[in-house]
C-alpha cells in the first residue's frame, strides 16, 4: 500500500515509517525535517497546513494517511493545541474530499480525562488539559466528517510510551538527563498511580497494523492493557540502565487529572493483530 505518514520525523513517526517499510509498504513521509526518517521513504515537501484543497493529489494520492503531526505533544497546557486545531481539521477535510479512502489519526488517553479502570471506545470523554480538549475535539469533528463519506476512519488512542528515551520528553528522558549531569537523586511524585505502558516499537506496530486494515474501525486503544505502578516502571528503568540515581518520592504532587489506575481495553487491537 502507499501510506502517507505525517509527523514522520517525530518520536513515534520514525518508528512507524520503519515498520511499514520493513513490511513492504510504500511510505510518503511528511514533516518539517527528515534527519531521523528512514532513507527508504519518499520525502514530501508539501506544507500539509497550507489549506491547499488539492493537497491529496500533491501528496501522491496515498491509499492511507496516518496523521501523527502535532505540535507541543509533551506540553499538555500549550495554547498551540487549540490554535492549531482548525489547521488539522482543514488538512484532513481536504484530504478526504480529495479522495482519501482510509484515515488513521493518533489520539491520546488524555481525551478521556479523569477515569479509573479500563477505557474502551464507549468511555465518556471529559478532557482536563488543552492537549486532551484539542485531540477530543478533532476526534469528534472527524466522526461527523466521515459519517457520510467513503473514507474509513480509525482513531488510535495511545497511553504511556517507553523506549528510544533520548528522543522524547518523558519522565524517563528527564531521569537520563539528570544522571548524565551527575545528580544522584531525582525529585518525584508518589509514583503510586498505575498506567498502561507500551514500547514505542510496539506502539508503531499496533498503529501500523490498524492503518492497513479496514474491518475494525472507530476508536482503538493502542496499548498493553496492563496497568503498572509508575514507581515500579521507573525503578525498573533505573536498574536496567545501571543509573546511579534514586527517586526522591513526594517532592511533587500528583497531577489532579491523573487517575490512580487507568489502562486501555485491548479487545479491538487484539482482534486486528490476530488477523
In the chain, how many H helices and how many E strands? Answer: 8, 14
CB 16 within 8 A of CB 66: yes
Report the half-sphere exposure of 203 (CA within 13 A, side-chain side): 26
Give me the catalytic one of 131, 159, 160, 195.
131
Report the half-sphere exposure of 172 (CA within 13 A, side-chain side): 23
| Cα dist from 8 to 15, 70, 218, whole Å | 8, 11, 23
Cell 524517563 belongs to residue: 172
β-pairing, 227-229 vs 194-199, is antiparallel
CB 66 within 8 A of CB 45: no
- How far apart are alpha carbons 157 and 265 in whole angstroms? 11
Question: Which DSSP string corresponds to 66-77?
Answer: EE---TTTT-TT
Whether residue 159 lies in the annotated active site: no
List active site positions. 131
Amino acid at each position: 500500500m502507499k501510506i502517507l505518514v505525517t509527523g514522520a520525523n517525530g518520536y513515534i513517526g520514525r518508528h512507524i515509517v520503519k515498520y511499514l517499510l520493513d513490511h513492504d509498504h510504500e511510505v510518503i513521509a511528511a514533516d518539517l525535517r527528515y534527519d531521523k526518517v528512514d532513507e527508504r521513504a519518499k520525502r514530501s515537501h508539501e506544507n500539509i497546513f497550507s489549506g491547499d484543497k488539492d493537497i491529496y493529489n500533491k501528496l501522491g494520492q496515498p491509499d492511507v494517511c496516518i496523521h501523527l503531526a502535532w505540535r507541543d505533544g509533551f506540553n499538555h497546557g500549550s495554547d498551540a493545541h487549540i490554535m492549531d486545531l482548525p489547521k488539522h481539521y482543514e488538512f484532513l477535510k481536504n484530504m478526504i474530499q480529495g479522495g482519501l479512502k482510509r484515515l488513521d489519526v493518533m489520539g491520546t488517553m488524555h481525551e478521556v480525562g479523569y477515569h479509573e479502570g479500563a477505557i474502551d471506545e464507549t468511555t465518556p470523554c471529559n478532557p482536563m488539559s488543552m492537549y486532551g480538549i484539542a485531540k477530543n475535539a478533532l476526534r469528534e469533528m472527524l466522526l461527523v466528517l466521515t459519517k457520510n463519506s467513503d473514507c474509513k476512519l480509525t482513531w488510535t488512542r495511545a497511553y504511556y510510551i517507553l523506549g528510544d528515551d533520548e528522543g522524547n520528553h518523558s519522565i524517563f528522558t528527564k531521569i537520563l538527563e539528570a544522571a548524565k549531569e551527575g545528580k544522584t537523586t531525582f525529585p518525584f511524585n508518589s509514583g503510586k498511580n498505575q498506567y498502561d505502558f507500551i514500547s514505542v516499537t510496539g506502539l508503531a506496530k499496533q498503529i501500523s497494523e490498524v492503518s492497513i486494515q479496514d474491518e475494525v474501525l472507530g476508536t482503538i486503544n493502542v496499548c498493553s492493557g496492563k496497568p503498572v505502578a509508575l514507581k515500579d516502571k521507573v525503578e525498573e528503568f533505573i536498574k536496567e540502565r545501571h543509573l546511579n540515581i534514586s527517586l526522591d518520592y513526594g517532592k511533587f504532587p500528583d497531577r489532579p487529572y491523573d487517575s490512580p489506575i487507568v489502562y486501555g481495553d485491548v479487545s479491538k487491537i487484539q482482534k486486528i493483530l490476530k488477523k
